[in-house]
Structure 1
């Protein structure tokens, strides 16, 4: 085994040695091959340099030769013009018009350098030929366009691009394209279709496609679209301002959609190109937009108001203090129904007009004037709807307010008047938020609008508060008249035990419920809570003062307590803790009318009466018929 192992190791060493020698030999061959490749690359580079040098030498020789040949040919053609005998095929063959154009253009450039004194005639001849060729090229371009021969159009346009009146080629193309547009209601779709279709064609035909496409779009706006818009709007502006404004907005919005659709072409990389064209087309109308809008809106608002008052048979009049007193003397009858001159239908009509006006303002006003114009429209709305209609109706209603102490049941229509005024104001505020706010929110002008709204709201609320106060005062005055006329002097002097409230009390409570029902029907929100509290306070004062006018026997005191329970129950429908507390105290005071003399001091120090002024307690005790007989004054001295 050991011998076999040694033999294998010897064989392995022998193989390793042979392998290493083979690798070394391959490395030598690789180095030789790499060196051969480098030598070959250097030789190729040298040959290439010689070829380039030779080519430059040949070109240096050939170019002057070609220039000389061209010059020789041009001199030959020039000689023909000089002699007046033009017979070369290149100058007379109509099928070689592009070659003719190149030759004539070069001769024209040469002729311009020659003095007029010796070459006037030949220069004129070449110029005439120049114009003739140019005209033939334009005709050929038009013909190719009619046949939709793109290749011929491109070749002709390329030739004409080196001529002075190349722009005529562009004009001819645009003119031919515009013939495809009919000036009718479908013009917007036609323009979109035309530009989309011609865009790729222009890219193939002209060297400066963006300029040509811009020229075509501009011509569509300035000529066809401008013609259509003026044709639609000019007659309307003279005859019907409402239709004119509506149609102007409609056309402007359609044009805006067209501009957005065409903006993808962006001629000259100007994304606002079509917007500028749009402003140019509408400039005559937009420059006078606000004047037209104000004129229409004022006229329409006045017409709506006049029509409403005419239907009502009402003649508006100034409501200064002198006029108000005169009107009040005419309408001051307590049982006359207050005339309500607020119309939700009228308000909706006026608001619809201003809604349309705000929309037009956003579309037709220059961007830097949108907020300012929006404020002007808002002021018109404020003037006609709020000042001349709502505020006027409230002020007129105040002149009809019932007296403070009516003898007959007063009209409660003031509550309806306030409800109608609030309804219209809510509609007004909704339009303020929905239509005006988006126009002015980002402008300092918004603060002016908010302040104008606040000032008007404050003035209205002051007038409505006055109307409500007068109505409540009149209602309490009538309740006072009920109690005064129906409450008998000896009602509370009876010795019989009472089982129910007095008739006067029941009548007054019935009327109070009627008033409260009317208030809840027509008022809501914070208004109803505050007004009910005010009514409750006045009603409490009325009952308190009413009781002070009577003398009470013991059984009469019980009857008074029955009345107070009725009053207190009625007052609870006002949902006021303060009013309830007052009537609870009044109920406790009435206990002073029925308590036996020896218990009066204890009653006066009870929970509900302990904090009352001693004079209040004393005044109530004075109402007892036994006040002097039992010397009750001693309890308060």
Structure 2
């Protein structure tokens, strides 16, 4: 083992010595190579200079040198052309160092001509190689011509040939992003500064192909409907194409320039867009109105009624004089179809505005859309229809016939139309006000003002309807309720055939039928707070009217049974109001009418019970005095004591 270890150590030492010698020899070889290179470099430079001088000398003579011969030989090999182009580029640099005297002027001119001819030939070769897809040779040519004006010509040739590959009719722009993405990859392979070439390609695409496509589809002399639809569609397609190019092209860094190209494409049409859009919308809104009124055989008129006109209508109602115009006004001239058509037109205009208008112009455009919609839908249609419905409320005398409740339909339709209006403002016009709080606030204020005006007319009309309904109830009671109904004469009572008990009076039955109809109409056409307020007010005033009505009668024992039947029928009808307060009022009225039936000796106990239930003393006193036996039963002094306690 010791012997082997000794031999291993000897071998290791030998390897180290050998490695040192190899390194020394390698260093000497490198040094020798550098010395040889320093010796050969001047020789090569001298040789290149000699070749350059020889070539230059050929241009000094009248023959012109080899470049002129090459330039006219269009079949020369491209490799040879590239070599000659490299040489002549060096000669051109040499010419810049030489003085412009007679010795060299002719040679300089010949070199310039030869250089230009050679560049032209290379450009032709560049175009030819594009047709066969030889990207490598195109790269070599572009590299040789990099410092010459012909390099820009090569770029123009590439762009021109690239655009020729596109279809002449660009109906479908969806394939352009893929085509231009492939072109970008080719540009990267050929040119040293591909970003500039890509942008020039896009610029030429917009200026030539897309501009021609745009102008073929959008023409100023088109009808407004066609013009606006085509302009919006084509601009939207171009905008979509721009976003796709931004997403697909890696070298397209300036997005703003791309959208400038897009705006420049449609600039001639966009300058008249707003006026044509507003004119189109105004005409359409007007046509929707005119078509509706024509279908209703109605001619719009001035509806700002004066006091004299109001007096005339009241006199006509009292004298039962009607006219065709009053009969026509019974129809509610409000149409959801008209509103929907108007909203659809506004939606189209707002959508086109979002596409075609500049962000800084949208708020003002939205304000004008709001003005048109509020004018034609709210003022000229909704407000006009509500006003006509208001004027028709007093067209009949409630003493002769039941009042028309068509105003309920007007309220229902009007509420729906105003909801449509608010929806259009919020969904279609509202987005145009983004970034302009002042326009948004002004729009909201004007909308609230319109709403208050419409609601005021609703309230006025419902109040008139309520008054007419109560007048009709009063007329029925006045004409059909007889004193004998509550006198108790056996011959005058309408008895129930089964029970033999008195039934409700004829006047009561007619009143209940009418009130039930009013409640049904209210629930059918009114909703929300309008329904609640109307039913509450109608129920309260109906109760007050009945109380005042009963104050005009004296009740016998048997007549009290009829009155109880009447009040029970009224209470059952009042339950249809579905309002706790109205139920309470009629429950109290039933208790008060019960005072007509109790025996005189029980009046005190019933009085005390009613007082504890919360019925006012004065009201109890008033009803007890309606008993036919109030004086004969000596209740008067007794009641006076109850009241004074």
TM-score for both structures, normalised by structure 2 = 0.85
**Is structure 2 residue 38 aligned with structure 1 residue 60?**
yes
Mean Cα displacement is larger for which, 327-336 or 125-134?
A: 327-336
Query: Which of 242, 245, 251 is residue 259 of structure 1 equivalent to?
Result: 242
Task: Flag the 1:297–1:89 CA change in 2: closer, same or farther, 3 A.
Answer: closer
User: Where does 1:77-476 land on structure 2 (aligned, <5 Å)?
Assistant: 77-88=55-66, 92=70, 94=73, 95=76, 96-118=80-102, 119-189=104-174, 191-233=176-218, 235=219, 237-263=220-246, 264-270=248-254, 274-320=258-304, 322=306, 325=309, 329=313, 333=317, 336=327, 338-367=330-359, 369-370=361-362, 373-402=365-394, 406-407=398-399, 408-436=401-429, 444=437, 446-476=440-470
Task: Flag the 1:146–1:185 CA change in 2: closer, same or farther, 3 A.
Answer: closer
Q: CA deviation at 1:608?
A: 6.9
Could you tell me how far apart the structure 1 residues matched to 2:290 and 2:540 are? 42
Could you tell me how far apart the structure 1 residues matched to 2:297 and 2:315 are? 15
Could you tell me how far apart the structure 2 residues matched to 1:32 and 1:325 are? 137
Query: Which of 619, 623, 630 is residue 622 of structure 2 equivalent to?
Result: 619
Q: CA deviation at 1:188?
A: 1.2
Q: CA deviation at 1:507?
A: 1.0
Could you tell me how far apart the structure 2 residues matched to 1:607 and 1:631 are? 20
SS in 2 for 1:395: helix
Could you tell me how far apart the structure 1 residues matched to 2:146 and 2:542 are? 99
Could you tell me how far apart the structure 2 residues matched to 1:410 and 1:109 are? 108
Q: CA RMSD in A?
A: 3.2
Could you tell me how far apart the structure 1 residues matched to 2:7 and 2:370 are? 98
2:631 equivalent in structure 1: 628
Could you tell me how far apart the structure 2 residues matched to 1:480 and 1:582 are? 19
Do the aligned partners of 2:346 and 2:369 also contact (CA within 8 Å) in 1?
yes
Could you tell me how far apart the structure 2 residues matched to 1:323 and 1:279 are? 58
Do the aligned partners of 2:67 and 2:84 also contact (CA within 8 Å) in 1?
no
Deviation per CA, 1:66-85, whole angstroms, max 9, x where unpaired? 33333332222222223222
Could you tell me how far apart the structure 1 residues matched to 2:63 and 2:314 are? 112
**Is structure 2 residue 68 aligned with structure 1 residue 76?**
no
Task: Flag the 1:631–1:268 CA change in 2: closer, same or farther, 3 A.
Answer: same
Mean Cα displacement is larger for which, 479-488 or 49-58?
A: 49-58
Could you tell me how far apart the structure 1 residues matched to 2:395 and 2:144 are? 99
Task: Flag the 1:89–1:359 CA change in 2: closer, same or farther, 3 A.
Answer: closer
Could you tell me how far apart the structure 2 residues matched to 1:493 and 1:422 are? 49
Could you tell me how far apart the structure 2 residues matched to 1:127 and 1:324 are? 101
Do the aligned partners of 1:304 and 1:350 also contact (CA within 8 Å) in 2?
yes
Q: CA deviation at 1:584?
A: 0.8
1:14 equivalent in structure 2: none
1:3 equivalent in structure 2: none
Q: CA deviation at 1:450?
A: 4.2
SS in 2 for 1:595: coil
2:497 equivalent in structure 1: none
Could you tell me how far apart the structure 2 residues matched to 1:57 and 1:113 are? 32
Task: Flag the 1:46–1:277 CA change in 2: closer, same or farther, 3 A.
Answer: farther
User: Where does 1:496-575 land on structure 2 (aligned, <5 Å)?
Assistant: 496=490, 499-575=502-578
TM-score for both structures, normalised by structure 1 = 0.86
1:596 equivalent in structure 2: 599
Q: Gaps (5+ residues) in structure 1?
A: 1-17
Q: Gaps (5+ residues) in structure 2?
A: 494-500
| Matched positions, count | 613
Do the aligned partners of 2:396 and 2:403 also contact (CA within 8 Å) in 1?
no
Task: Flag the 1:330–1:568 CA change in 2: closer, same or farther, 3 A.
Answer: closer
SS in 1 for 2:614: coil
